[in-house]
Amino acid sequence: GNNCYNASWSGGCLTDIIPTTKNGNQILNETILPTTPNVLLFMYGTNDYGKGVSSEVFNQSLETFVQTARNKWSGVIIYVCSYPFNKRMYDGVVVNTENVTTWSEAVENKAKELGCKTIDILNVGNNSDNWNLFNIGDGVHYNAKGAKLIKNNVIQQVAEFN
């Protein structure tokens, strides 16, 4: 069987935008697993973008993250999931001259440049007509139905790589 380990945390950022909270690279450095993973699945950006981090700054942290993961776990395949865009929250929002689509495309391009596989979940189950079916009601976090939708979409896209 396959094992899955989750080192994520709600409210976290890959970058240092919140000085009182560990960033993604610090968490990665502290993560100890009982076995070497074959796959690392990384979903990015909700908090970084929402707090005004430009794609350029984010991509610098992403590069460090990817290098650290590869140094730590030789041969690991890194899948980078796109920003899980929430139309209700971020439609029309522009941060550092980038809307969420432009920002996500810049990050996706950087991930590909770094040799990562990319998974597009930018618009999965999230439009103005049905966001409440997949959201817990706060406009940000997925409910069980939304998490299942994302999971199934990720599994489908990973299978397409193999």
* Predicted pLDDT of residue 148: 83
Express as a percent the part of the chain with pLDDT over 90: 22
* Predicted pLDDT of residue 91: 62
> Across residues 140-145, what is the average pLDDT?
75
What pLDDT digit, counting tens, does each position of 80-123 carry?
A: 988 765 555 666 667 778 888 888 899 999 999 999 999 887 76
pLDDT higher than 70, residue 126: no
* Residue in the structure block whose two tokens are 């432009």: 102
CB 47 within 8 A of CB 57: no
* Predicted pLDDT of residue 65: 93
* Predicted pLDDT of residue 17: 84
CA distance to 36, 98, 103, per residue, from 53 (Å): 31, 10, 10
* Predicted pLDDT of residue 116: 95
**What does pLDDT average to over the chain?**
81
* Predicted pLDDT of residue 7: 74
What pLDDT digit, counting tens, does each position of 34-91 carry?
A: 888 888 888 877 788 888 889 999 999 999 999 999 999 999 999 998 876 555 566 6
